[in-house]
């Protein structure tokens, strides 16, 4: 069930860049582990980690923001047809700084899954309203009796990303060099803002708390799919992962497919990923902040 809820978390954050892998707690892989700095420890500061040679995600010009101010998307994840978790994603202008947008995501397993594996997760990301460049990320994970916090800061001048994980054992930090970094939600907004067409591929350098991924997204074709909100023309997208900082996660990567609305908004309608048995599917079931469910579905077309 741990695998089930981790995939649910991935899908329900509706971050393209997380559609394949779990955001599981714990330290990063062997290379990143050497860069961890324990709070209060006396040791030489490790050098920031770079991507391997030949992997260099490009910069993208932001297109129209696919989200409307204050709009909230609600997703339900199910495993072999059994509802397992619910998530809400909300984007709105930052109240303190009008130059920023704030994206928030909440995930919780349902009462049935809680009996086996209880998850209550929260993510907040602030990013520039015009460029979609991330400023900071905060993640809180509560899984059964375990509690983790992640904070990520982005220094675009020095091209430096600092990620800190905190738990009952203390704080551990890792620094990375990145020319075009994104968080899970800012990366999703940038990807969805692009003029997507079949045959197109995109690549993003994404930080999810204590881990780093490079995700490639391949727009395959158009399909007509039926969802709880109605029937839509959709673009079918297949993500791949050419690099991850935690080598242990490579064996856990599963086939995934994302369907987004084939209109200017490009909203994620469905995310499906292979599990140990069958598939996990997350469907968009409601768009809040609209007059009605019917009008919300019409506005997605």
Query: What is each CA distance from 241 to 20, 162, 214, 245, 257, in whole angstroms?
Result: 8, 22, 6, 11, 13
Residue 272 counted as domain residue: yes
Give yes or no for residue 31 having a pLDDT over 80. Answer: no
Residue 53 counted as domain residue: no
Under DSSP, is residue 223 helix (H, G, I), strand (E, B) or coil?
strand
Do residues 221 and 198 touch, judged by C-beta distance below 8 A? yes
Whole domain around residue 93: which residue ranges?
A: 2-37+58-300
Q: What is the pLDDT of residues 220-262, one digit of tens each?
A: 999 999 999 999 999 999 988 899 887 665 555 567 899 999 9
| pLDDT value of residue 59 | 95
Q: What is the pLDDT of residues 101-120, one digit of tens each?
A: 999 999 888 888 888 888 89
Residue 45 counted as domain residue: no
| pLDDT value of residue 44 | 58
d(CA 103, CA 72): 10
Q: What is the pLDDT of residues 187-220, one digit of tens each?
A: 999 999 999 999 999 999 999 877 899 999 999 9
Under DSSP, is residue 7 helix (H, G, I), strand (E, B) or coil?
helix
Under DSSP, is residue 155 helix (H, G, I), strand (E, B) or coil?
strand
| Structural domains counted in the chain | 1
The residue with greater pLDDT, 186 or 19, is: 186
Give yes or no for residue 19 having a pLDDT over 70. Answer: no
Q: Record the pTM.
A: 0.81
| pLDDT value of residue 190 | 95
Query: What is each CA distance from 102 to 10, 70, 264, in whole angstroms?
Result: 19, 10, 21
31: number of Cβ within 10 Å: 13
Residue 282 counted as domain residue: yes
Per DSSP bridges, beta strands 82-93 and 146-155 are unpaired
Under DSSP, is residue 112 helix (H, G, I), strand (E, B) or coil?
helix
Under DSSP, is residue 192 helix (H, G, I), strand (E, B) or coil?
helix
Residue 136 counted as domain residue: yes
Do residues 214 and 197 touch, judged by C-beta distance below 8 A? no
With a CB cutoff of 8 Å and minimum separation 6, the contacts of 88 are 72, 73, 74, 75, 105, 106, 288
Q: What is the pLDDT of residues 38-92, one digit of tens each?
A: 444 444 578 999 999 999 999 999 999 988 899 999 999 887 788 888 989 999 9
| pLDDT value of residue 33 | 35
Partners of 105 in the β-ladder: 89, 123
Partners of 237 in the β-ladder: 219, 258
| pLDDT value of residue 260 | 95
Q: Supply φ then ψ for residue 55, to 5 degrees.
A: -110, 110
| pLDDT value of residue 96 | 93
Residue 50 counted as domain residue: no
Give yes or no for residue 28 having a pLDDT over 50. Answer: no
Q: Supply φ then ψ for residue 108, to 5 degrees.
A: -145, 140
DSSP per-residue letters across 69-82? TT-EEEEEEEETTE
DSSP per-residue letters across 118-133? -EEEEEEEEEETTT--
Give yes or no for residue 163 having a pLDDT over 50. Answer: yes
d(CA 49, CA 45): 12
Q: What is the pLDDT of residues 268-283, one digit of tens each?
A: 999 988 776 677 889 9
Partners of 244 in the β-ladder: 213
Residue 283 counted as domain residue: yes
The H or E element that residue 2 is part of is helix 2-12
Handedness of CA 32, 203, 8, 91 (dihedral sign): positive
| CA 269 to chain centroid | 15
d(CA 8, CA 227): 17
Give yes or no for residue 145 having a pLDDT over 90. Answer: no
């Amino acid at each position: 069930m741990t695998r089930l809820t981790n995939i649910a978390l991935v899908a329900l954050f509706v971050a393209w860049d997380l559609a394949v892998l779990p955001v599981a707690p714990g330290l990063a892989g062997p290379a990143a582990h050497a860069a961890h700095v324990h709070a209060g420890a006396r040791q030489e500061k490790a050098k920031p980690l770079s991507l391997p040679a030949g992997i260099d995600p490009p910069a993208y010009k932001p297109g129209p923001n696919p989200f409307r101010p204050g709009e909230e998307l609600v997703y339900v994840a199910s495993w072999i047809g059994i509802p397992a978790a619910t998530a809400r994603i909300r984007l709105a202008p930052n109240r303190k700084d009008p130059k920023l947008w704030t994206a928030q995501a909440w995930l919780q397993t349902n009462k049935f899954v809680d009996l086996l594996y209880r998850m209550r997760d929260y993510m907040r990301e602030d990013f520039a309203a015009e460029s979609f460049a991330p400023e900071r990320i905060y993640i809180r994970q509560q899984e059964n009796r375990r509690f983790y916090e992640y904070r990520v800061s982005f220094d675009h001048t020095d091209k430096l990303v600092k990620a800190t994980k905190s738990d009952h054992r203390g704080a551990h930090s890792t620094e990375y060099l990145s020319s075009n970094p994104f968080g899970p939600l800012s990366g999703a907004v940038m990807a969805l803002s692009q003029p997507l067409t079949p045959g197109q591929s995109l690549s993003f350098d994404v930080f999810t708390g204590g881990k780093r991924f490079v995700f490639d997204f391949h727009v395959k074709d158009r399909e007509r799919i039926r969802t709880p909100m109605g029937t839509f023309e959709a673009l079918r997208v297949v993500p791949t992962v050419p690099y991850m900082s935690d080598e242990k996660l490579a064996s856990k990567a599963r086939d995934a497919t994302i369907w987004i609305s084939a209109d200017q908004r490009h909203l994620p309608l469905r995310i499906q990923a292979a599990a140990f048995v069958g598939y996990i599917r997350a469907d968009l079931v409601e768009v809040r902040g609209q007059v009605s469910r019917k009008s919300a579905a019409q506005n997605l077309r």
